[in-house]
Structure 1
Amino acid sequence: MIERVGLEFAERQRLEGNFAEFAKSSYKGHYPRSKDITKDLNQCLEKIGWVCALYKTPFKLLGPKGVQSVESMLIFAPQSILQEDLVNTAKLERAHGFYVCWANLDDDNGHIWLITCGAQNLKEAQNTPAFTKLFKNSRGTCHAQYHFDTYRYALDFLRLVALFDDLPVQDFKAGGEGSNQAFPRKVDVYFLRALRADNYRYFQKAIRYYEKSAELGDVEGFYQIGEIYHHYRPTGITECPNFAKALEYFKKAGEMGDFRAYEMLGRFYARGNGVAVDIQQSLGYLNLAADMGSEIACFNLADIYLYNEGVKDPEKAQAYYNKAIKMGKSKLERARICHRVAKRYLEHSQGAGLDKEDKKAVFYYQKAAILATEVFGAEAYNRMAYWGKKYYSYAQTLEWCLQAIELGNTKLYTYVGRSYYEGRGCVQNYQKALEYFQKAIAIKEDYEAYFALAEMYFNGEGVPQDYSKALAYYTKALGGRYEKQEVFRRLSQIYDKGLGVEPDLKKAFEYLKKSCGMWD
């Protein structure tokens, strides 16, 4: 089915990410990355001759319950039908044409997919050959026939694209010629029925239809059956989860070209699900998936070579991470994978008894920052500074911190201030230290910065000596845990000698006791 609409699994995952981001932002009523989302979707859809647009104003369309209102939606259509209208989406409600849309309807709890048309051109649309094939009457009311309420966004979308593409272009034109082409294909009907039964947890029925779909050549039918036996414990299928059955169907799906099935088989043999643990078999299946373009398989292979004592080989692990990175089709995708690799090395470095991999993590964070500075730079430079301080100079660490700050990371103000205060990786500069400490406390309660400012005013470093200001900052520093023993000691000294306040030996003694009490 995926081959029928010309998109591979990796591209479908790209669609999935954009759909999920749109769904998340639309619930809040704002679309900060709408242009990026539609641009990325259009790059994916170009391969199959479709286009996408975002419609953000109130709109009436033909929905599952007749004409319904929608606040915002993503609209998709073949270029040959709606290219002109999608350039100016304000025309869509009035313009003639059908399209696939993804909308959060006013009476629905989430986004659904459907083939639809605008309410204002409904009468004209009813006169086209496509209308009788796409929609049906229920007690005199026309409503969308194909709709979903699952969360398999990309899969649902591609199913509707396949159904839509079955109709020739002339079927969508008013007064166009009819078509003798069967609609929809049996394989699509079976999969749609299976998907719906699966969603409502009618698993026996879903399995029957998935099998019929797979027997007609659908690449995903057997995989979905494997998923049912692997995950679910439904009433009526007492043998679930059944790893042996899942294994059987994943093997069939893999032979038909579904690399996700090989990913699952690799995990089964690695974990002993339904079979004896066999690392070599696991490696074999995961390599098949990796060769077919599976990023997940590359990460699973790297995990085995990092953690499994029988085949441990850090160099091979890194080679698979690099293979995953090369699968990225854009700088942004490669940066995302580099970022994920870096996090994986950090997880590995913190495991008990494992060799430290901090330096490799820093290396991949640096690659992510170079490939997509605006997206990953602020976090990556922060991580590089923190985890790389054992291997790199203070000057390099400070440079990374300043780059992170420039990209919007405000968590590092105090660290940079401390660097200038101590001359760590730079020439000592009290004025710059003061500037960064003040920026830190302007954003949040930063107790380390409070203490540093108190010390500067107490000692007259870069500022006129001012015991009153020092006392105010020491008092604020008490709210946190940073250097509390030193804070108590300074307060004891202030009240003992009457620095900026009236001498108070009782207070001085109490603070001194607290300072001593901080020792274990």
Structure 2
Amino acid sequence: MGEKDLFKLTLACLLALIGWVNPGLAADVADCCKQLYKNGEYEQAFPVCCEASEQGDSHAQFILGKMYYFGKGVQQDYAKAVKWYLKAAEQGYAKAQNILGWMYNFGKGVQQDDTEAVKWYLKAADQGYAKAQCNLGWMYNFGKGVQQDYAKAVKWFCKAAEQGNANAQYGLAVMYARGKGVQQDDTEAVKWYLQAAEQGNAKAQFNLAVMYARGKGVLQSGEAAADWYYKAGLSYLKEGKKDDALRCVERIKDLKTALHLSVPNAFLADKLLPKLSD
């Protein structure tokens, strides 16, 4: 957005705040809040979003919660983030319900409470929100805030996975690989690992490499295994997980020395190793 357009938007928002809006300049206060936040104009967005939130706009309340959570345009305050996430969640805003569940899940700005986390995850999941469905799957998988139930974990992972959620695709693959809540099926596990791996999920990339190395659910291939270990290593480095990346280097080397596989791309280990010190 150019300076002229930004000036017009800011002016329109100021006019909206005092109740004098020129229809040719902008929409209402809530729209100004959303646009300023989207443009990264956090200090300008904060008072506008506060006004829109007080007026009851759920999207603005969600944005205000994010501003407090990340400290954008205002001092970071998890408790206030929870306050605004809750207001939006109570209006049925799925994204807010999911993040509120996460806040309870990890005790951010509120006392840690897995049962309350499940409550909010479920509300968002029932609306079809994939991230919440995935989170709910993990809660059932580990028995956190709810009785452990692998079949229900699979149910929710599947719903989210079919929407393209990489973390859920990984979770569903694990369930098939281990035969938890579903009949054990390496081929199906590979299918879901691959979908998550192609989206850059490091754990899925690593596990897919393992499947190729062992020939489980797929034709055994040292070359394919090395390729996925390398990709997993790069993904782990992006996440700052150097120990996991180093494990990928060691696994590539083991393909030839321990598993005695043909690995024409074994050089990927040497290519990945220097990146650990970058």
Q: TM-score, normalised by structure 2?
A: 0.58
C-alpha contact 2:85 2:96 (8 A) present in aligned 1: yes
Percent of pairs identical after alignment?
A: 19
- Residue from 134, 145, 150 that aligns with 2:5: 145
How far residue 365 of structure 1 moved from its aligned partner, in angstroms, is 3.8
- Residue from 318, 325, 341 that aligns with 2:171: 341
Q: Does 2:28 match 1:186?
A: yes
State how 1:46-445 maps to structure 2 within 5 Å.
64=2, 144-146=4-6, 182-187=24-29, 188-193=31-36, 199=40, 202=43, 206-214=45-53, 218-232=57-71, 240-243=76-79, 245-308=80-143, 311-326=147-162, 328=163, 333=164, 336=166, 339-341=169-171, 362=186, 365-368=189-192, 381-386=208-213, 389=214, 396-397=215-216, 400-402=219-221, 405=224, 415=255, 436=262, 439=264, 443=267
How far residue 215 of structure 1 moved from its aligned partner, in angstroms, is 5.6
Task: List per-residue Cα deviations over 1:98-144 (Å, max 9, x = no partner).
Answer: xxxxxxxxxxxxxxxxxxxxxxxxxxxxxxxxxxxxxxxxxxxxxx5
Q: Which amino acid aligns with 1:145?
A: D
How far residue 375 of structure 1 moved from its aligned partner, in angstroms, is 7.8
Could you say which structure has the greater relative contact order, defined with CA pairs below 8 angstroms and 6 or more residues apart? 2
Distance 2:25 2:195 in 1: 46
Instruction: Decide whether aligned partners of structure 1 residues 361 and 222 sit closer, same or farther in structure 2, where only a CA change above 3 A counts.
Output: farther
Counterpart of 1:498?
Answer: none
Distance 1:224 1:445 in 2: 43
Instruction: Decide whether aligned partners of structure 1 residues 304 and 233 sit closer, same or farther in structure 2, where only a CA change above 3 A counts.
Output: same
Superposition RMSD on alpha carbons, in Å?
4.9
Structure number, greater radius of gyration: 1
Distance 1:373 1:272 in 2: 30
Aligned-partner SS, 1:312:
coil
In structure 2, the gaps of 5 or more residues are: 10-21, 231-251, 271-278
Aligned-partner SS, 2:85:
helix
C-alpha contact 1:385 1:397 (8 A) present in aligned 2: yes
State how 1:465-504 maps to structure 2 within 5 Å.
none
C-alpha contact 1:301 1:317 (8 A) present in aligned 2: yes
How far residue 288 of structure 1 moved from its aligned partner, in angstroms, is 0.8
Task: List per-residue Cα deviations over 1:427-479 (Å, max 9, x = no partner).
Answer: xxxxxx8xx36x356x4689xxxxxxxxxxxxxxxxxxxxxxxxxxxxxxxxx
Distance 2:154 2:212 in 1: 22
In structure 1, the gaps of 5 or more residues are: 1-62, 66-143, 148-158, 160-179, 350-354, 390-395, 422-432, 447-520
Instruction: Decide whether aligned partners of structure 1 residues 192 and 290 sit closer, same or farther in structure 2, where only a CA change above 3 A counts.
Output: same
C-alpha contact 2:212 2:220 (8 A) present in aligned 1: yes
Task: List per-residue Cα deviations over 1:325-356 (Å, max 9, x = no partner).
Answer: 23x2xxxx37x45643268779xx9xxxxx99
Greater helix share, structure number: 2
Task: List per-residue Cα deviations over 1:180-204 (Å, max 9, x = no partner).
Answer: 96442123234435666xx4653xx
How far residue 207 of structure 1 moved from its aligned partner, in angstroms, is 3.6
Distance 1:234 1:249 in 2: 15
Distance 1:405 1:193 in 2: 46
C-alpha contact 2:208 2:228 (8 A) present in aligned 1: no
The aligned length equals 229
Instruction: Decide whether aligned partners of structure 1 residues 183 and 301 sit closer, same or farther in structure 2, where only a CA change above 3 A counts.
Output: same
Q: Which amino acid aligns with 1:189?
A: C
How far residue 290 of structure 1 moved from its aligned partner, in angstroms, is 0.8
How far residue 265 of structure 1 moved from its aligned partner, in angstroms, is 1.8
Q: Which amino acid aligns with 1:229?
A: Y
C-alpha contact 1:378 1:405 (8 A) present in aligned 2: no
How far residue 264 of structure 1 moved from its aligned partner, in angstroms, is 2.0
Task: List per-residue Cα deviations over 1:284-339 (Å, max 9, x = no partner).
Answer: 2111111122222122222222334663333322222112123x2xxxx37x4564
C-alpha contact 1:365 1:380 (8 A) present in aligned 2: no
How far residue 261 of structure 1 moved from its aligned partner, in angstroms, is 0.7
Distance 2:222 2:5 in 1: 53
Aligned-partner SS, 2:128:
coil
Instruction: Decide whether aligned partners of structure 1 residues 369 and 192 sit closer, same or farther in structure 2, where only a CA change above 3 A counts.
Output: closer
C-alpha contact 2:86 2:96 (8 A) present in aligned 1: yes
